[in-house]
Chain A
């Protein structure tokens, strides 16, 4: 066997796309399937450069529909497999994502959001939140991590494979074009030195023994004949998803204990929100920040407790209210006023959040 791609831990300075490729290598990924689209191309580029050195594989497909389904196929054959995409590519991939939902295929999808709708910009946005969480004809039974730094891109890409295989729900790492293209420092490491054990993978088809006699049959269906049958299947999927949600959900709070004004932001915007809260506190304003790390499942209960005490909530996002929909769904019935700081397809800085809060 080839030696470990990362020995121990080391500090590096690289782009987010390179980080994802290294994380996948460190996570013992067997194969990546992909189709190029900016701003995530370099995940493929780095992967194809690195993978052969460590006996890993890559398949370039004819489009993102195929990339999604081949990833499903790779997983069914027992491989730790992933794909990466953005924007219109993510749209095409939704059909495979719903099949993964229905058949409980633990694929991992990395999304580096670009501007939308349609081709729009290749730069940056947070406009793929609704799609990554709920896209396709399904119920959004996925796990979605929204990262905010290169360190998190590395940590959560590794984690995504373990969570996907542990719970058998498709798992997404939701980054963005800024995270894809910028360079900053982080530590990359061999997961073993952090006590992270990679969840075992196994084939879903071709198991030994006679189904029904030696073992339970592997029911891998996405087609049903009757309403009643489907109803039962979907209800079971939802129950299972809700059962694991408390174990999976992740969030962070910053100075929310006594906060009168709470900024809710996810992904890279959390950096601006954290800095804004520091600056507002220095100026004597009781501000706090709530950051959902998983967008699906969403830390609804935790946010509700904060919303009960706050005098005002501001939802700040680089989209026209996609995060806000998750927020209002989570805190329905609370009377705290909501303000919107929406900048679809554009970055948000701490300075503008500070000015906005002071201007309220």
Chain B
């Protein structure tokens, strides 16, 4: 049976995890892969932890949610607590170094636990608005489920109209994507 890549992305509402998930599965779909994405959603209008569950495979995908993920990315303290349950010995768990006070709450059973300074890089080197694009670069590099070129195409499709108005935005986004990939390549 073909391997299905399972990813859980979690952050605070507004950090952009759902947009990232949407672009990633769209890219996989455009490449002819099977993809399934389901956002978690509650009754709250805003705030709260936002989780995106993505699966990418060469075959039709089973249940929309999964027990354990291959990759978990948690972008806030509450997101760490919420997504620990998806970790087992095959999971890569990534969290942002800016999250404080979670040292004792990190999962202990992961294959790898990586801390990445995505927020800091977004603020200092690039722009805070591409924080989630850095995360996307991280996710792709950590799982390799789709070619980086396909992601660029998907980004172009989604943000092309903005890129037209301001070509610098394209550079910024592609740089963020590459920078995210670099971050994990160094650590894996």
B and A form one assembly: yes
**B137-165, CB under 8 A of A: which get 1 and which 0?**
00000000000000000000000000000
* Residues on the B chain within 8 Å of A348, using CB: 63
Q: Which of B22, B39, B61 contacts A181 (CB 8 A)?
A: B39
Stretch at the interface among B9-17, B40-48, B175-183: B40-48
Stretch at the interface among A160-168, A217-225, A272-280: A272-280
Is there an interface contact between B64 and A182, defined as CB atoms closer than 8 Å?
yes
Beyond A122-B43, A183-B36, whether A347 also contacts B1 by CB under 8 A is: no
Interface centre among B34, B39, B63 (most CB of A within 10 A): B63
Q: Please name all residues of chain B whose beta carbon is closer than 8 Å to the beta carbon of A352 when the two chains form the complex.
A: 67
The reply on A320 being an interface residue by CB < 8 A is no
Indicate if the CB atoms of A123 and B29 lie closer than 8 Å: no
Check if B63 sits within 8 Å of A121, measured CB to CB.
Answer: no
B38 within 8 A of partner (CB): yes
Q: Hey, which chain A residues are within 8 Å of B65, CB to CB? A: 178, 347, 349
Q: Does A185 contact B (CB under 8 A)?
A: yes
Supposing A184-B34, A184-B35 touch, asked if A178 and B41 sit within 8 A by C-beta, the answer is no
* A183 to B67 alpha-carbon distance, docked (Å): 19
Distance in angstroms between the alpha carbons of A237 and B43 in the assembled complex: 41
Q: Check: A187 CB closer than 8 A to any chain B CB.
A: no
Q: List residues of chain B with CB within 8 A of the CB of A182.
A: 36-38, 64
CB of B101 within 8 Å of the partner chain? no
B25 on interface, CB distance cutoff 8 Å: yes
Contacts known (A122-B41, A122-B43); A13 close to B62, Cβ less than 8 A: no
User: Which A residues are in CB contact (< 8 Å) with B40?
Assistant: 123
Alpha-carbon distance A13/B26, docked complex (angstroms): 8
- Chain B residue at smallest Cβ distance from A122: B43
Distance A122 CA – B26 CA, assembled complex (angstroms): 25
**A304: Cβ under 8 A from any B Cβ:** no
Chain B residues with Cβ below 8 Å from A183 are: 22, 25, 35-38
A122 to B22, CA, bound (A): 21
> Which B residue's beta carbon lies closest to that of A183?
B37
Q: Mark A139-171, 1 if CB is under 8 A from B, else 0.
A: 000000000010000000000000000000000
Q: Is A257 part of the contact surface with B, judged by Cβ < 8 Å?
A: no
- Please classify the interface of chain B as helix (H, G, I), strand (E, B), loop, or mixed, using the class held by over half of its residues: loop
Complexed CA–CA distance, A352 and B66 (Å): 10
**Quick check: is A268 within 8 A (CB to CB) of the other chain?**
yes
Chain B, Cβ-Cβ closest to A179: B64
- A interface SS class: mixed
Nearest to A351 among chain B residues (CB) is B67
Restricting to A13-52, which residues have a CB under 8 Å from any CB of B? 13, 38-39
* Also in contact, A185 and B34, with CB within 8 A (given A274-B62, A347-B64, A349-B67): yes
Query: In the assembly, what is the distance between CA of A138 and CA of B33, in Å?
Result: 47
Closest chain A residue to B37, Cβ basis: A183
In this complex, what residue of A is CB-closest to B66?
A: A349
Tell me, yes or no, whether A312 is within 8 Å of chain B by CB.
no
A residues near B36, Cβ cutoff 8 Å: 182-184
Of A185, A268, A274, the residue contacting B64 (CB under 8 A) is A268
Q: Report how far A255 CA is from B150 CA in the complex, Å.
A: 38
Q: Is the CB of A123 within 8 A of B42?
A: yes
Chain B residue with Cβ nearest A150: B36
Q: How far is the CA of A140 from the CA of B22 in the complex (A)?
A: 40
Contact between chains at A272 and B29 (CB < 8 Å) = no
Closest to A177 in B: B41
Given A13-B29, A278-B1, A178 and B62 contact (CB-CB distance below 8 Å): no
Q: Does A271 contact B (CB under 8 A)?
A: yes
**B56: min CB distance to chain A, Å:** 11
Complex-state Cα separation, A42 to B26, whole angstroms: 19
Starting from the known contacts A178-B38, A183-B25, 18 additional A-B residue pairs (CB-CB under 8 Å) come to A13-B26, A121-B43, A123-B41, A178-B64, A181-B38, A181-B39, A182-B36, A182-B64, A183-B22, A183-B38, A184-B61, A185-B29, A185-B35, A271-B62, A274-B62, A275-B62, A278-B1, A349-B62
- The 9 lowest CB-CB distance pairs between A and B, nearest first, are A182-B38, A275-B62, A13-B29, A271-B62, A347-B65, A272-B63, A349-B63, A184-B36, A178-B64
